[in-house]
Amino acid sequence: MRWQRLLSFVLVGACVQVLAAGRNRDVEAVALLESFYDGSISPNQLVNRLSYLGSTRFASDQLVDKLRRTADVRRRGAMLEVLSQIASYSEDGERALLRALNDDALGNRMSAAKALGRIKSTKATAPLEGLLGDQATGARREAARALGVIGKPRSGPPLIAAAKIEDDLETRVVMLMAVGKTGDVRQVAALEGFLENSSESARLSAAQALCLLGSAKGQAFAKKVISSEDRLERLQGVRLFEGTSLKVAKALLTPALEDQDHAVRAAAARVLAAAGDESKVEWLVIQSAKQSGPEAVLIYESEIEKLRVEPERRAAILKKAGLP
């Protein structure tokens, strides 16, 4: 019984410490927010410091409360910019962001769209689909990107319709990619039409969307790009499988692991790892350790960084492989 009481005291003490640490972080977050409100620190500085503290959820709620009571365009713009990077879901937050989609300031509409995508607001699908017809290019682009993140099949038709009449190439690319992310297989035929587009960017984005939707024609297009004699085209071909299933990616990217170019090999391994092939994380770490030139090492390290491999895991991989 004595050891049980001792264990209880230890656990209670640990809980108190955790709660105290949480309160201290909140206090620091409040101070940072006050500095942000008075203009002492920029939106990006606030985001970085909140992320370091681990207080983004707390700060998101505080910013939403402030946003609801703020009419000043400049202040709203700054708060929405921060929320576009740290927003956490809440009903109040969702309502405030939906209202911001109607702000006159373009930057506010763009940030609100991005934030709604971040919280994957299903209530935002209809308003964002409406924003695809906004007069401002930036608003159309962010609306399309957000709809892709939310990923509802119902958004497929308005996105493909918008892409067909979009005159800004970058925005059209985002729209086509978003179609693939919605999972709406009914748009396969329309996307296949873009494979003959005069714009290379449109062709590639349509192919990537088709790969996401499991289209055989899209995969055949991507396979042709991967087989190019040009290393940059082969690299583009590898990236067409970003976000696809492991089955699809593995079937077509495995040969790329033997490519003569380090960038193509590393990108292929990273796409496979992101699709769920954990062995390719080990492959990347080992390949990086085996390189003698700094340029090659940097290529592999860049892909490893995208996977956020923890130092402890890297050390374990190298130890298992008998590498320093």
Predicted confidence at residue 5, as pLDDT, reads 52
Across 3-12, 209-218, 219-228, least confident range: 3-12
- For residue 2, with 0-12 CB atoms within 10 Å meaning exposed, 13-18 middle and 19 or more buried, which class applies? exposed
Predicted confidence at residue 61, as pLDDT, reads 95
Domain hosting 273: range is 236-241+249-324
CB 188 within 8 A of CB 212: no
Which CATH number characterizes residue 82's domain? Answer: 1.25.10.10
Share above pLDDT 90 across residues of the chain, in percent, rounded to a whole number: 89
Predicted confidence at residue 12, as pLDDT, reads 41
Q: Would 296 be classed as within a structural domain? A: yes
Percentage helix, strand, coil for the chain under 3-state DSSP, each rounded to 5: 80, 0, 20
Q: Would 320 be classed as within a structural domain? A: yes
Q: What tens digit of pLDDT does each residue of 111-139 get?
A: 999 999 999 999 999 999 999 999 999 99
Q: Would 68 be classed as within a structural domain? A: yes
Q: What is the pTM of this model?
A: 0.86
Q: What tens digit of pLDDT does each residue of 22-76 get?
A: 457 888 999 999 999 999 999 999 999 999 999 999 999 999 999 999 989 999 9
Kindly tell me if the per-residue pLDDT of 20 is higher than 50.
no
Q: Would 139 be classed as within a structural domain? A: yes
- List, in order, residues 6 or more apart from 83 with CB less than 8 Å away: 60, 63, 64, 67, 93, 97, 111, 115
Looking at the fold, whether 67 and 117 belong to one and the same domain comes out as: yes
Q: What tens digit of pLDDT does each residue of 168-220 get?
A: 999 999 999 999 999 999 999 999 999 999 999 999 999 999 999 999 999 99
